[in-house]
C-alpha cells in the first residue's frame, strides 16, 4: 500500500535529484539486492534535518551498508555518525562507500547489537532508529537517558506499509504502534509523523 498517492510520491522523487556518485552507486546496490535502504526521499530529509540541527553526535541503529549513514555524514560539519549492524559484510561495504565519498573521517563503524553499541554513547543529538521493527520501543526506552537535551529521535517505517490501519494487526505492526503511541504520549517528547515513503517519526526531547 502506498502511504501517499503514488503520483505525488513520484512527483517528489523526480524533484529529488541526487548527483553524488556514491549515493547513486548505493541506490543501485540496494535495488540489486532488494535491500531496504531509506531511499532518497527520506535520505534528503535526514540530510536537511542534520544541516539544520548541526549535531555533534548522530547514532544509527541498523545501518545496513551505510546509505542513511552516508546522508547524515554528508550533512555533518564537525560531528560524527555512529553506524552499526549485525552483519560484518554490511559494515565492510559501508566503510568502502564512505571511503569513496571521502566521508570516512566523519564516521565510526561497529558490528554487533545496535542497542549495546549505542548505549556506550552519551549526549546523542540525533538517534536514528531503523533496525528490527519489533525492537523500536525497547530502543527508545534503553537509550532515552543517553539523549542530549533537545535531541531528535527519527524512526523509519512507522506507517509500515499502511498496516497500522489493520483492525487485527500482526505482531510486528502492533510493536511499531506501541512505539509510536509511546512517543506521542510521552511528555518528554514532542512528536510528529512525516508521511513520506513508509512514514518517518520525528520527535524532539523536551
Ligand atoms: C532497514 S535496514 C537498514 C537500512 C539503513 N538504515 C539504510 O537506510 O541504509 C536494517 C538493518 O538493521 C540490521 N539490524 C537489525 N537488527 C539489528 C540489531 N539489533 N543490531 C544491529 N543491526 C541490526 C539488519 O542487519 C539490517 O541491515
CB of residue 73 inside a 6 A radius of ligand 1: no
CB of residue 84 inside a 6 A radius of ligand 1: yes
Q: What pLDDT was estimated at residue 92?
A: 98
CB of residue 37 inside a 6 A radius of ligand 1: yes
Mean pLDDT, the chain, whole residue set: 96
Q: What pLDDT was estimated at residue 3?
A: 81
- Protein residue with least CA distance to atom 1, ligand 1: 36
Give the nearest ligand 1 atom to 39 CA: 8
Give the global pTM. Answer: 0.97
| pLDDT tens sequence across 188-202 | 999 999 999 999 999
Q: What pLDDT was estimated at residue 1?
A: 61
| pLDDT tens sequence across 38-59 | 999 999 999 999 999 999 999 9
Q: How far is the CA of 154 from the centre of ligand 1 (A)?
A: 14
Q: What percent of the chain has pLDDT over 90?
A: 97
CATH of domain 6-205: 3.40.50.150
And the C-alpha cell for 91?
559494515
CB of residue 157 inside a 6 A radius of ligand 1: no
And the C-alpha cell for 206?
523536551
Q: What pLDDT was estimated at residue 141?
A: 97
- Sign of the Cα torsion 117, 33, 48, 45 reads negative
Provide the greatest CA pair distance for the chain: 48
| pLDDT tens sequence across 133-187 | 999 999 999 999 999 999 999 999 999 999 999 999 999 999 999 999 999 999 9
Q: What pLDDT was estimated at residue 104?
A: 97
Q: What pLDDT was estimated at residue 25?
A: 98
Does residue 42 come out as left (phi exceeding 0), alpha (psi in the -120 to 50 range) or beta?
alpha
DSSP 4-27: S-HHHHHHHHHH-----HHHHHHH
Amino acid at each position: 500500500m502506498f502511504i501517499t498517492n503514488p503520483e505525488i510520491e513520484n512527483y517528489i522523487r523526480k524533484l529529488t535529484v541526487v548527483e553524488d556518485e556514491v549515493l547513486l552507486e548505493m541506490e543501485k546496490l540496494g535495488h540489486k539486492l532488494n535491500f531496504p535502504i531509506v531511499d532518497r526521499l527520506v535520505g534528503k530529509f535526514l540530510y536537511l534535518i542534520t544541516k539544520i540541527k548541526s549535531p555533534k553526535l548522530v547514532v544509527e541503529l541498523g545501518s545496513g551498508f551505510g546509505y542513511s549513514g552516508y546522508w547524515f555524514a554528508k550533512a555533518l560539519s564537525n560531528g560524527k555518525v555512529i553506524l552499526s549492524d549485525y552483519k560484518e559484510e554490511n559494515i565492510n561495504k559501508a566503510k568502502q562507500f564512505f571511503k569513496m565519498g571521502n566521508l570516512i573521517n566523519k564516521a565510526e563503524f561497529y558490528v554487533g547489537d545496535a542497542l549495546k553499541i549505542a548505549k556506550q554513547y552519551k549526549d546523542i543529538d540525533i538517534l536514528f532508529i531503523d533496525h528490527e521493527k519489533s525492537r523500536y520501543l525497547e530502543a527508545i526506552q534503553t537509550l532515552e537517558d543517553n539523549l542530549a537535551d533537545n535531541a531528535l529521535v527519527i524512526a523509519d517505517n512507522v506507517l509500515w506499509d499502511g498496516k497500522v490501519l489493520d483492525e487485527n494487526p500482526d505482531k510486528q505492526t502492533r510493536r511499531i504502534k506501541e512505539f509510536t503511541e509511546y512517543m506521542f504520549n510521552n511528555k518528554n517528547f514532542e512528536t510528529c509523523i512525516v508521511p513520506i515513503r513508509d512514514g518517518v517519526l520525528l520527535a524532539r526531547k523536551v
